[in-house]
Amino acid sequence: MAIVGGSAELNTGAQIPIIGLGTASMNTNEEDIKAAVIAALQVGYRHFDTARVYGSEHALGKALNSAFQSGLVSREDVFVTTKLRNTEHDDPVAAIKDSLINLQLEYVDLFLIHWPIKLRTEIPLTPLKEEDFLPLDIKSTWQGMEQCMEMGLTKAIGVSNFSCKKIEDLLKHAKIPPAVDQVEMHPHWHQKKLRDYCSKHNIHVSAWSPLGAPNTPWGSNAVMDNPLFQEIAQKHEKTRAQVMLRWGLEQGVSVLPKSYNAGRIAENFQVFDWSLTSDDHDKISKLEQKKIQQGELFVNSTTSPYKTLEELWDGEI
């Protein structure tokens, strides 16, 4: 089945649909997530982004399973990404097997190391203590990720929140190179250096928080509220969110907007039959750059492998 809206080719040869529905939310109500997934499938989404830590795998699995049963889509039509928790670096195979039970799937399409950080315990959005950090051995974590792929539990493996340097270090000992780096990217955080690096190494970039994550505890309304997007949106008779998503697509990345609102889910998918002008790109290219989620919680001067934010992002901040 053709992917509505288009796809990009991964270094495995598989296609990744360039719009995916994000599922990180304070709202983990199963019925709301299921309704959002079904609404997304109905308007053409074929890519779903989840993670162990979001608490959305189970509801996503239920929704997909009911869509397979009803014939709305088949397993081969959808692309499902999930991620290794920071507490699961010792055994990626056991972790993905748990995810597959939650998702009611035999394989995922993409399995990512969520962060370059290894923790003993983690409760989302609560501060970490010094004793929560464990020494990171990314080589052994990656071997476990490779094993997941060799066992057919995932079709591709990749990373998330990795700088160019961290990918470069990984490539030195990877048997299977990462297919994807999923990172924060929106018009206020262009990720130009990382995109150039990934393009040279045939690694696809996916944009998380492509709208700047308005109205979330981890995001900001600053991107959405920038008057430039209202101006560009009015000119094209589109919405601000559509302008931001279209901008991401025109940079050659896939975008993962999260919404559990049927109207906004449909709105975010209407980004294929029009384009931004070079004047729009010029204005967006001049916007002040500021990473919203800097990952301060992963930095400390004693037990974290990263004593400073500079070290966490290898200066790319």
Residue ranges that bind ligand NAP, judged by CB under 6 A:
22-24, 49, 114, 160-161, 182, 208-216, 219, 239, 241, 256-261, 264, 267-268
Nearer to ligand NAP, 49 or 57 (CB): 49
Q: Which residues contact 240 (CB under 8 A, 6 or more apart)?
A: 224, 229, 230, 233
271: phi > 0 → left, psi -120 to 50 → alpha, else beta; which? alpha
CB of 294 to ligand NAP, least distance (A): 12
Contact 7, 18 (CB under 8 A): yes
Among residues 45, 54, 260, 306, which one is catalytic? 54
Closest residue to ligand NAP, judged by C-beta, is 22
Name which of 274 and 279 has its Cβ closer to ligand NAP: 274
The least distance separating ligand NAP from the CB of residue 66, rounded to whole angstroms, comes to 21
Q: How far is the CB of 125 from ligand NAP (least distance, A)?
A: 12
The residue among 51 and 149 lying less far from ligand NAP, judged by its C-beta, is 51
Active site residue 45: no
Q: What is the rounded distance in angstroms from the CA atom of residue 177 to the CA atom of residue 180?
A: 9
Residue 32 or 91: which CB sits closer to ligand NAP? 32
User: Can you say how many angstroms the Cα of residue 4 is from the centroid of all Cα atoms in its chain?
Assistant: 20
- For ligand NAP, the closer of residues 47 and 155 by Cβ is 47
Q: How far is the CB of 265 from ligand NAP (least distance, A)?
A: 8
- Minimum Å gap between C-beta 60 and ligand NAP is 10
Active site residues: 54
